[in-house]
Amino acid sequence: MTVDRRQFMRLAGLGGAVFASALARAAEPMGRAGAAQTYGAESDEFFFVQLSDTHIGFEGAPNPDALGTLPKAIAAVNALETQPDFIVFTGDLTHTTDDPQERRRRLALFRDMVGELKNRNLRFMPGEHDGSLDRSAAFQEFFGPTHYTFDHKGVHFIVLDNVSDPRAVLGDEQLAWLQSDLERQSRDARIVVLTHRPLFPLYPQWDWATRDGDRAIELLMPYRHVTVFYGHIHQEHHFKTAHIEHHAAKSLIFPLPAPGSLPKRVPLQWDPSQPYRGLGFREVEAEVPAAYKLAEFPVVKA
Amino acid sequence: MKRREVLSVALGTLFAAAGVWAVAAPHTQVRRIVARKFTYLPNVVKLKKGVPAVLEFTSADVVMGFNCPDFKIRTDIIPGQVARVRFTPDRIGTFVYLCDVFCGDGHEGMTGKIQVVA
């Protein structure tokens, strides 16, 4: 019997809920005996982990263990059978503050916390809580540019910044940069966009949108294999604009209600009988030629 | 007709036209709203359906936004300036508006409602 990595994780009781991308191939990957040790070694298949909205510095009833939640998630990631190729944090690393010194203290605390991750290949981007009050000046001191690209095993990753301008826009300059980058890619390129806010107008009544996100989507549309991973809305959400998939991640601080399901976007209450409910992180398994499998993990196992 | 009389007639016509406009002006609903961290005053705006409306915004502290997606109207609100949004509410109901320029801890709760009545 051969057991692929996902099956291995399920058998080991490690896996979370799995979302199969609509782009996913019908067939499972080839079975790999001992996959936990050899995964990705002989192909361009790999996986990364997405964590989002850690909001270090938040204090309040929606999460009485606000400073303890990220360390628990880090312990869970460190405990994965196989370490991911890299880990992305899709914004709102810290909770906002008007005090520039306190902002830096929170960013430093976050940096120290994620220093406990086994995997040292980390990618960051700001959320509006990190960057909208100072155009990400403090964020850049700690984590560098707010928009950039990198390539990994045949996938072109594009990190977009839709928060440093407090109006939630990408802006002409960044869009021109995106256009220039895309012009260097083939129409068959495997492209993954990482960003904080949804690029499409998920629910503008709750500010769940990027004001000029439609321009980014228009630039991406000619490319056949584009997938977007983002945060901001503190819940899992899946949507398609034509062939482009958009996947929102859970947060690591408090869940928010489904779009428009309540009069206001207030945090869901902490349930002492089910602590950390609605929080978590995800694995993204990139398969050849251009499919992604998502597996959702809780902060702590039930 | 002397030049001064011509001018007088012309000005009279102009003021008469302005008078017509002045009669029409009261049919525009004007509402003044102050944005401050992290609320709008007032945060419930009542308007009549089918009557042109002008919303006038000022900010008491930092740059804010006003966005009412249901009517596709928005503006930035810059301290020291009056921002105006003109529209005619064409539907009865209650419609949410929000600040869409991130302004700090409390931004997410900075919302209001437009109530449109018959």
What is the tens place of the pLDDT at every residue in B46-75?
999 999 999 999 999 999 999 999 999 999
Per mean pLDDT, which range of A242-251, B24-33, B81-90, B108-117 is the poorest? Answer: B24-33
The minimum CA-CA distance between B26 and chain A, rounded to whole Å, is 31
CA count, 13 A, side-chain hemisphere, A282:
30
Residue A204 pLDDT exceeds 70 = yes
CA distances from A91 to A164, A226, A283, B12 (A): 11, 20, 17, 64
Task: Please report the pLDDT score of residue A33 as a whole number.
Answer: 31
> Which residues of chain A does B103 touch, with a Cβ-Cβ cutoff of 8 Å?
166
Q: Which residues pair with B36 in a beta bridge?
A: B39
User: Rounded mean pLDDT of chain B?
Assistant: 86
CA A253 vs. chain centroid, Å, equals 14
* DSSP one-letter string for B87-109: E---S-EEEEEE--S--STTGGG
Question: Mean pLDDT, to the nearest integer, of A9-28?
Answer: 44
Residue A109 host element (H or E)? helix A100-114
Nearest CB partner across the interface for B98, out of A96, A167, A207: A207
Nearest CB partner across the interface for B102, out of A166, A205, A264: A166
Percentage of residues in chain A with pLDDT exceeding 90?
Answer: 82
Task: Report helix angle A172-183 to A213-220, nearest 10.
Answer: 10
Spatial CA neighbour of A288 closest among A44, A49, A47? A44
DSSP state of A267: P
> Which residues of chain A does B62 touch, with a Cβ-Cβ cutoff of 8 Å?
none
Q: Residue A211: closest CA among chain B residues belongs to which residue?
A: B100
In this structure, is the dihedral angle defined by the CA atoms of residues A297, A115, A80 and A36, taken in order, positive or negative?
A: positive
> Which residues of chain B does A266 touch, with a Cβ-Cβ cutoff of 8 Å?
109
Quote the longest CA-to-CA distance of chain A. 59
Task: Please report the pLDDT score of residue A248 as a whole number.
Answer: 98
CB-count exposure of residue B14 (10 Å: 0-12, 13-18, 19+): exposed
Residue A30 pLDDT exceeds 80 = no
Task: Please report the pLDDT score of residue A1 as a whole number.
Answer: 37
Q: Are A38 and A248 in contact (CB under 8 A)?
A: no
> Which residues of chain A does B98 touch, with a Cβ-Cβ cutoff of 8 Å?
205-207
> Which residues of chain A does B37 touch, with a Cβ-Cβ cutoff of 8 Å?
none
Q: How far apart are CA A22 and CA A289, in angstroms?
A: 13
- What are the tens digits of pLDDT across the range A223-257? 999 999 999 999 999 999 999 999 999 999 999 99
Task: Please report the pLDDT score of residue A241 as a whole number.
Answer: 98
Confidence of residue A290 (pLDDT cuts 50, 70, 90): confident
Q: Residue A128: closest CA among chain B residues belongs to which residue?
A: B102
Q: Which residue shows structure tokens 């270090």?
A: A56
Q: Residue B68: closest CA among chain A residues belongs to which residue?
A: A205
Residue B64 host element (H or E)? strand B64-68
Q: Which residue shows structure tokens 């009069």?
A: A263
> Which residues of chain B does A206 touch, with a Cβ-Cβ cutoff of 8 Å?
98
- What are the tens digits of pLDDT across the range A131-163? 999 999 999 999 999 999 999 999 999 999 999
Alpha helices in B25-62 (DSSP H): none
In this structure, is the dihedral angle defined by the CA atoms of residues B57, B62, B68 and B73, taken in order, positive or negative?
A: positive
- What are the tens digits of pLDDT across the range A48-99? 999 999 999 999 999 999 999 999 999 999 999 999 999 999 999 999 999 9
Residue B11 pLDDT exceeds 80 = no
Confidence of residue A221 (pLDDT cuts 50, 70, 90): very high
CB contact under 8 A, B109 and A264: yes
* Tokens at B44, concatenated: 């419930």
> Which residues of chain B does A168 touch, with a Cβ-Cβ cutoff of 8 Å?
100-102
CB contact under 8 A, B76 and A264: no
Task: Please report the pLDDT score of residue B16 as a whole number.
Answer: 44
Percentage of residues in chain B with pLDDT exceeding 70?
Answer: 78
Q: How far apart are CA A237 and CA A251, in angstroms?
A: 12
Q: Residue A98: closest CA among chain B residues belongs to which residue?
A: B104
Q: How far apart are CA A248 and CA A234, in angstroms?
A: 8
Nearest CB partner across the interface for A166, out of B70, B96, B101: B101
CB contact under 8 A, A204 and B96: no
Task: Please report the pLDDT score of residue A301 as a whole number.
Answer: 80
Planar angle of CA A93, A94, A97, nearest 5 degrees? 155
* DSSP one-letter string for A283-297: EEEEETTTEEEEEEE
CB contact under 8 A, B111 and A96: no
Residues of A with CB under 8 A from a CB of B: 95-98, 128, 132-133, 163, 166-168, 201, 204-207, 211, 264-266
- Could you report the predicted ipTM of this complex, rounded to two decimals? 0.84
CB contact under 8 A, A167 and B70: no
Nearest CB partner across the interface for B105, out of A96, A166, A168: A96
Question: Mean pLDDT, to the nearest integer, of A28-54?
Answer: 60
Residue B92 pLDDT exceeds 70 = yes
User: Rounded mean pLDDT of chain A?
Assistant: 89
Q: Write phi, then psi, for B17 (nearest 5 degrees).
A: -60, -40
